[in-house]
Amino acid sequence: MKWSFPEFEYKEKSNTWFLSVIIVAAVVGLLALWQTNFLFLVFTAVAVLMIIIWSQKKPKMINFELSEDGLWIEKVFYSYNKFSAFAIKPGSMLFEQKERFRPHLTVSFDRKDMDSIRKHLLDFLPEMEYHESLIDVFRGFFGF
């Protein structure tokens, strides 16, 4: 199975979103000035600049392939024996890695392919329940 999918879901930001970020940054900046914490003021300015730049970044298309041997993401291969289980929900799947300090690997796909992907993966890995992380919730809330 081969498919291409955007690197991340892009959400257009409104002028209100940008204004909100700038207002929050100004309040935090004023608090830093009031406490004469210039390092925090610089950190806040750099962080806001990065948030604004990243918010305008458009996603690139990434190629995926599920084969009999494992998962290809672009030119990087992940053998099924590196994973202990997978979870799937409409639009994305999560692979739990066997190595203790490795994060989960999340892969997006077209929702219409969910049943065929699940069927393929069940031949190689057990399925676990999908739990959305707190970071995923925050990313969705803030539009990233």
Would you say 81 and 69 are in contact if contact means Cβ atoms under 8 Å apart? no
Model confidence pLDDT, tens digit, residues 14-23: 899 899 999 9
Q: Please state which of the ranges 1-5, 84-88, 124-128 shows the lowest mean pLDDT.
A: 1-5
Instruction: Grade residue 139 by pLDDT with cuts at 50, 70 and 90.
Output: low
Q: In a 3-state reduction of DSSP, which class is residue 7?
A: coil
Model confidence pLDDT, tens digit, residues 95-108: 988 887 777 888 88
User: For the residues 27-55, what does the mean pLDDT come to?
Assistant: 93
The answer, yes or no, to whether residue 47 has pLDDT greater than 60, is yes
The answer, yes or no, to whether residue 143 has pLDDT greater than 60, is no
Would you say 14 and 143 are in contact if contact means Cβ atoms under 8 Å apart? no
**What is the reported pLDDT for 140?**
66
Would you say 102 and 84 are in contact if contact means Cβ atoms under 8 Å apart? no
| CA neighbor of 108 nearest in space, from 6, 20, 18 | 6
Considering only residues 71 and 102, tell me which one the structure prediction assigns the higher pLDDT.
71
pTM of the model: 0.63
Phi, psi of 84 (to 5 degrees): -100, -25
